[in-house]
Amino acid sequence: MTVFLQQLINGLSLGSIYALVALGYTMVYGVLRLINFAHGDIYMLGAYIGYFAARVLRGHSIHPLADTLIILTVSMVVCGLVGLLIERLAYRPVRHASRLTMLIIAIGVSLFIENLSQIVFGADPKFFPQLIPEKAWHFSGVILTNQQVLVLAVALALMLLLNLFIFKTRTGKAMRAVSFNLDAARLMGINPGAIIALTFALGSSLAAAGGILVSINIPGIDPLMGVMTGLKAFVAAVLGGIGNIFGAVLGGLILGLAEVMVAGYGSSTYRDAIAFLILIVILLFKPEGILGKGQIEKV
Amino acid sequence: MAGTSKGKNRIRVAGSMAIAACGWLAFTACDKKEPAVTASTEILIGEFGSMTGATATFGQSTHMGIMMAIDSLNTVGGVLDKTIRVISEDDQGKPEEAITVVTKLINKDRVVALLGEIASSNSLAAAPVAQKSGIPMVSPGSTNPKVTEVGDFIFRVCFIDPFQGTAMAKFTANNLKLTRVAVLRDIRSDYSVGLADFYTKAFTAMGGEILADESYSAGDKDFTAQLTSIIAKNPQAIFLPGYYTEVGLIARQARKLGLTVPLMGGDGWDSEKLWEIGGEALNGCFYSNHYSVDDTSAMVRDFVAKFKRRYEGKVPDAMAALGFDAAMVLADAIKRAGTASPDSIRMALAATQGFQGVTGSTSLDSFRNAVKPAVVLEVRDGKNIYKGSIEP
Amino acid sequence: MKNTLHTLLALAALWLLSVGVNALLIHGPILQGPYIFQILMLAGINIVLAVSLNLTNGITGQFSIGHAGFFAVGAYASAALTVYFGPIFLKSLEMFPRSLNEALLLLLALLTAALAAAVAGLIVGIPSLRLKGDYLAIVTLGFGEIIRVLILNIDAVGGARGFSGIPPLTTFFWVAALVALVIVAVHRLVRSSYGRAFLAVRENEIAAQAMGIDLTRTKVLAFVIGAAFAGMAGCLFGHFSMYLHTNSFTFIKSFEIIIMIALGGLGSLLGSVLGAVVLTALPELFRGFESWRMVIYSLALILIMIYRPQGLLGGKSPFRSKRKPRSP
């Protein structure tokens, strides 16, 4: 039983990371109908920016928790800007091209970021400095570390903030309008270009947060860490219903749990496959996802 | 086929082109020249290793050892009155990349011999290419027995894993006096899987019990699932025959999950990055290796001192020592062969006996493996402390 | 009768060509001969991959990014055959000349590869019916990865450590023959009624269906044929490098093939050939700048897709905006 509970905690930790990254995917898909393959690489960039920020902060540490928040904020802001840049340079020129073209461009952007990072940062894994001295609590055989608690807390907080923003502010409403029907939104006086840019920025900063949070628990970072995570987060978004915020969170958590259970009770070499298996099953039987609505194509 | 005249034309064109090409070749091919040992002033040796990636220190250290050896030879005139030039390639730690770079070294650069690799998986991938092309390959540090089984052009200057696995099993049973151990192997690495098997066989033969046998994949970052399973079985130690990057991460996560027992491993642990990654989680852990920096023999002390001088205070690890020895053995073989032709070098290598090196005396047996003792080191506070030697 | 004669003539021409290439590059006076030979072989394999993917993606408009999976299935299936049954096979044919036996073995391996990959194509193709565009792309990506992970877990073909000991049966003749076959096959297919069906499906599925085209059959056919050729390319690849590792069959490989056909022009046969050759030969020029290679590729890909989405040789752009008016 304790093993199960432990795996449950592991799964929720992993799942909340997937959820954060999935949110970015789902939001961008909602407004642009584009699968932004480069999203996973923003997650990676977030981790690296955090790494460098932590190095800078090394000498002037204030307080572990404050340090973490500073690094988190810095990384989120920088990656938000990177997201804006990508949207402006790579996706805006082809806004009206076919979906296939945009998909190929997204692949290109992803490959570009990954390979440039390998040159700039070096392909060898780097190790995130430990910002928070470790403390573990034992509950009858199950171990919870303060780092895990932090990750879960921050992820939850960010998701709640996003939720508030999307459903309780005017800009949030504008975002929802654009994802529902871009042309109608434009008729209502909303500037779709600005909203799309904002969506990218927001999604990217969440991915960056995911990158930092994951590095707190698992300190190894390398330029290709975003590849698998990005794909899996995308699967999570599809699982929950792409375009749906709650769906992304739900999908992320389910995927994280599934993966940890497979790795723990089955074989770790299958852990990557479970994500794709879920994807195929979902797309075959309920392509709109758990919380999504079916779309009828009229002729 | 094509019923249209366009199709017929195409075939006619293709056919005549082919025949024309062959006609031309008939003239030029008559004068077959062997692309071989020319009367140049250099002997070209190819080196391939993982200079980047998760096992980057392996390639880098080996390279440093090799270059130190080659430079020391070149300053006294080289071998057979020619300078030795080493062409180095990075295989990024990937076996399929090893094939690509070795093929390039053989076909494009026309090297007469190869030095590499450390990771057995990479050596196993590259060896068939070397064997097929008739270029001798000397592996400084691949310990999986299958490497030299590829063919008679493949050699190594280190011990092999049946010995290493037994050595660690003996250490576990006799020195640490433990009977219940769990195994955690890297399923991506021939080395790890092989060593885990040899250890298991030896340990159970000595009466020990393997409580769990879990696996991970090099490149994984999260091992909590496997560790949780292992911890539940309550082992007295974990045998972890992986490479240093994952070993360090696993050690950390294991301690976080409450594991207090020692971890043990093989020469794949040996890297300056091990402590950097694993930190205090590694205190009290043991691993087998090819040499110890604290060895008091004159040869080792001299090597360590020269290495530190040349590389700004860096302490040579086993890969550097093995690289050094491999390069020296190869150079010696070239000298004994009297000519820098690949086949003669092969014959000379096969006859290597009693060559004194930093990692001991290298004598190649009929399987082209070296028989050498292993040392066991304990990791403590960033240092690897010599615990003992195990003779073959 | 005429067809058979022409086929035999073509094969004979290819055989002569391969003799010539071998003589010139392997045993000949060119110092870098074997190196150029190696590039030619890999380029040939990539041509087959590119042209076969173009059939599915460019001509039938089914955006598949899991082609590496079929490449892998063919490679591993044929390698398993030659490694495990090869020795017995060769021994039973001892009385015949060795080169003939090996050619026969490779032919058997090629057929196995084509069959295995075709089956895989069927398995991937059937779910693909229900999906379009992005979703299709992601599902094929997923299948490609699942195939890779499954192979990774089969110890009999080396598992995570790779499959070694594959006999080096591939010769220039076989690569050239397969290249010729795929080009001729796709060329003729496109000009047949099947080809018209493929193109119709690409342009507008609903209209095609209204015209009486069986969508199921057409799409699945495209997948299966593309997959079969990719599988055969895989067979030749495995028997050339003598070693297989799943690292060579990740979605990065699928992306590389996509770049080849995007560069050459989706839907253009010659474009795929060009794209494949350029992207095989170019890296060799960049040997020193290995790390920058992919950076430049990806940048080139982005720029091409923004400014010239039809690629170098693409004719009328198949990429007229497909943005459907959004339903309220």
Cβ count within 10 A of residue B258: 15
Which of A7, A124, A127 is the closest to B228 by Cβ? A7
Closest Cα in chain C to A274: C146
- Cβ distance of B132 and C242 shorter than 8 Å: yes
Which of C17, C248, C290 is the closest to B18 by Cβ? C17
Using a CB-CB cut-off of 8 Å, the residues of chain B touching A123 are 52-53, 92
Using a CB-CB cut-off of 8 Å, the residues of chain B touching A268 are 187, 214-217, 220, 225-226
Smallest CA-to-CA distance from C185 within C64, C59, C5, C38 is with C59
**Contacts (Cβ under 8 Å, ≥6 apart) of C35:** B104, B107, B108
Residue with tokens 């999935």: A22
Identify the three-state secondary structure at position B24. helix
Question: Distance (Å) from the C-alpha of residue C20 to the closest C-alpha of chain B?
Answer: 5
Question: Distance (Å) from the C-alpha of residue A269 to the closest C-alpha of chain B?
Answer: 7
Q: Chain C contact for A276, CB < 8 A?
A: yes
Using a CB-CB cut-off of 8 Å, the residues of chain B touching A225 are 221
Tokens of C61: 């408009």
Chain A touching partners, 3 or more CB pairs below 8 A: B, C
Please tell me the predicted confidence (pLDDT) of residue A4.
84
Using a CB-CB cut-off of 8 Å, the residues of chain B touching C27 are 29, 32
Closest Cα in chain A to B227: A264
The whole-angstrom separation of Cα C231 and Cα C212 is 31
The whole-angstrom separation of Cα B223 and Cα B251 is 10
Which tens digit of pLDDT belongs to each residue from B135-170?
999 999 999 999 999 999 999 999 999 999 999 999
Question: Distance (Å) from the C-alpha of residue A133 to the closest C-alpha of chain C?
Answer: 36
Cβ count within 10 A of residue A182: 20
- Cβ distance of C323 and A234 shorter than 8 Å: no
Which of B18, B28, B95 is the closest to C28 by Cβ? B28
Question: Distance (Å) from the C-alpha of residue A265 to the closest C-alpha of chain B?
Answer: 8
Closest Cα in chain B to A261: B225
- Cβ distance of B1 and C2 shorter than 8 Å: yes
> In chain A, positions 80-109, which contact chain C (CB-CB < 8 Å)?
90, 93-94, 96-101, 103-105, 107-109
- Cβ distance of B221 and A220 shorter than 8 Å: yes
- The mean pLDDT value of chain B amounts to 88
C138-to-A281, A283, A296, B351 alpha-carbon distances in Å: 12, 10, 20, 57
How is chain C split into domains, by residue range?
45-250
Which tens digit of pLDDT belongs to each residue from B39-82?
578 999 999 999 888 899 999 999 999 999 999 999 998 899 89
Percent of chain B exceeding pLDDT 70 equals: 90
Question: Distance (Å) from the C-alpha of residue A267 to the closest C-alpha of chain C?
Answer: 9
Using a CB-CB cut-off of 8 Å, the residues of chain C touching A106 are none
Please tell me the predicted confidence (pLDDT) of residue C290.
67
- Cβ distance of B8 and C7 shorter than 8 Å: no
- Cβ distance of A268 and B53 shorter than 8 Å: no
Which of B104, B124, B188 is the closest to C164 by Cβ? B124
pLDDT class for C311, splitting at 50, 70, 90? confident
The answer on pLDDT for A264 being more than 80 is no
Please tell me the predicted confidence (pLDDT) of residue C62.
84
Which of A90, A99, A112 is the closest to C295 by Cβ? A112
Question: Distance (Å) from the C-alpha of residue A143 to the closest C-alpha of chain B?
Answer: 6
Please tell me the predicted confidence (pLDDT) of residue C320.
40
Question: Distance (Å) from the C-alpha of residue A275 to the closest C-alpha of chain C?
Answer: 8
Please tell me the predicted confidence (pLDDT) of residue A273.
81
Closest Cα in chain B to C168: B132
Structure ipTM: 0.81
Asked whether B129 and C242 are in contact (CB, 8 A), the reply is yes
Closest Cα in chain A to B93: A124
- Cβ distance of A268 and B229 shorter than 8 Å: no
Q: Quick check: pTM over 0.90?
A: no
Using a CB-CB cut-off of 8 Å, the residues of chain C touching A90 are 302, 306
Give the pairing of strands B355-357 and B263-265: unpaired
> C-alpha angle B47/B114/B330, rounded to 5°?
105
Tokens of B298: 């004159």
Using a CB-CB cut-off of 8 Å, the residues of chain C touching A101 are 305, 309, 319
Which of A14, A136, A268 is the closest to B256 by Cβ? A136
Q: Report CA dihedral (B258, B260, B261, B266) to the nearest 10 degrees.
A: 80
Using a CB-CB cut-off of 8 Å, the residues of chain C touching A97 are 305, 309, 319, 321
Which of A122, A219, A269 is the closest to B217 by Cβ? A269
- Phi then psi for residue B182, to 5 deg, are -105, 150
Question: Distance (Å) from the C-alpha of residue A90 to the closest C-alpha of chain C?
Answer: 7
- Cβ distance of A14 and B222 shorter than 8 Å: yes
The whole-angstrom separation of Cα B333 and Cα B327 is 10
Using a CB-CB cut-off of 8 Å, the residues of chain C touching B190 are 161-162
- Cβ distance of C301 and A108 shorter than 8 Å: yes
Q: Chain A contact for B180, CB < 8 A?
A: no
pLDDT class for B125, splitting at 50, 70, 90? very high
Which tens digit of pLDDT belongs to each residue from C257-307?
988 898 888 888 999 999 999 888 877 776 666 667 778 888 888 888 888
Q: Chain B contact for A115, CB < 8 A?
A: no
Smallest CA-to-CA distance from A236 within A2, A4, A39 is with A39
Smallest CA-to-CA distance from A252 within A5, A14, A8 is with A14
Please tell me the predicted confidence (pLDDT) of residue C138.
82
Lowest mean pLDDT among A121-130, A180-189, B322-331, C137-146: A121-130
Q: Chain C contact for A194, CB < 8 A?
A: no
Lowest mean pLDDT among A268-282, B287-301, C99-113, C314-328: C314-328
Using a CB-CB cut-off of 8 Å, the residues of chain B touching C242 are 99, 128-129, 132
Smallest CA-to-CA distance from A287 within C280, C160, C139 is with C139
Average pLDDT for B361-370: 92
Using a CB-CB cut-off of 8 Å, the residues of chain C touching A96 are 321, 323
The whole-angstrom separation of Cα B355 and Cα B362 is 5
- The mean pLDDT value of chain C amounts to 86
pLDDT class for C142, splitting at 50, 70, 90? confident
- Cβ distance of B94 and C245 shorter than 8 Å: yes
- Partners of C16 in the β-ladder: none
Lowest mean pLDDT among A218-222, A237-241, B344-348, C140-144: A218-222
Using a CB-CB cut-off of 8 Å, the residues of chain A touching C326 are 181-184
Average pLDDT for B288-299: 91
Average pLDDT for A198-205: 92
Please tell me the predicted confidence (pLDDT) of residue A275.
85
The answer on pLDDT for C316 being more than 60 is no
The whole-angstrom separation of Cα C72 and Cα B261 is 42
The whole-angstrom separation of Cα A49 and Cα A77 is 10
Please tell me the predicted confidence (pLDDT) of residue B364.
93
Residue B85: in which H helix or E strand, if any?
strand B83-90
Question: Distance (Å) from the C-alpha of residue C242 to the closest C-alpha of chain B?
Answer: 7
Which of A96, A110, A298 is the closest to C327 by Cβ? A298
Using a CB-CB cut-off of 8 Å, the residues of chain B touching C179 are none
Chain B touching partners, 3 or more CB pairs below 8 A: A, C
Asked whether A196 and A87 are in contact (CB, 8 A), the reply is yes
Question: Distance (Å) from the C-alpha of residue B389 to the closest C-alpha of chain C?
Answer: 31
